A = this chain, B = another copy of it.
Amino acid sequence: MPRTSTRPAAAGRRDDRYRLDDQIGFLLRRAYQRASANLVERIGDHDLTAPQFATLARLYERGTLSQNLLGRLVVMEPANIRDVVQRLRRRGLVATGRDPEDGRQLLVCLTPSGLALVRKLLPVEAACTAKTLARLGRAERTLLCDLLRRLTVD
């Protein structure tokens, strides 16, 4: 039973060298939450989430892609990118069709409506990134991006 004891319930010797706030995974999760919240705060009136916007942005950069490759390019598992594409398609932002040359692949591309939305929101995203990084100097920003990229090299 929990008590409002002055001593921690997990009494006994504690490992003072461990601090959750020093664990990179915890810091990354917290930072991503903040960045994601910043984005939704600005583009949320269009009912777009961060992963959805990333998907649209990738299609904008690369044009028509298979659903599977699109998923890899936005770091989503096949089962997840499928759901995102489905939601975007339901809203008319994306169109899909079978690849005539490979019956397995499902090709995905932006619709004119999706393209217009991306064009409208690109500067908003850039501003959002700036807000997230507001407390860092110019050199620190590029340094942070560089360090994060190096964490995820294959």
Binding site for B on A (CB under 8 A): 1-5, 7-12, 14-15, 17-36, 38-39, 50-51, 54, 57-64, 74-75, 95-97, 99, 101, 107-110, 115, 118-119, 122, 125-126, 128-129, 132-133, 135-136, 140-141, 143-145, 147-153
The distance in angstroms between the C-alpha atoms of A63 and B29, with both chains bound, is 23
CA–CA, A4 and B97, complex, Å: 11
**A140–B12 CA distance with the chains assembled, in angstroms:** 34
What's the least CB distance linking A105 to chain B, in Å?
9
How far is B95's CA from A80's CA once the two chains are assembled, in angstroms? 34
Say whether A9 contacts B110, CB under 8 Å. Answer: yes
Tally of this chain's copies: 2
Q: A2-B64, A9-B59 are in contact. List 4 more A-B contacts (CB 8 A).
A: A2-B108, A15-B119, A25-B35, A27-B145
On chain B, the residues within 8 Å of A29 by CB distance are 32, 36, 50-51, 54, 75
Q: How far is the CA of A63 from the CA of B99 in the complex (A)?
A: 57
Residues of B contacting A36 with CB < 8 Å? Answer: 25, 29
Contact A97-B54, Cβ < 8 Å, known A35-B28, A147-B143: no
User: A144 vs B95: C-alpha distance in the bound complex, in angstroms?
Assistant: 40
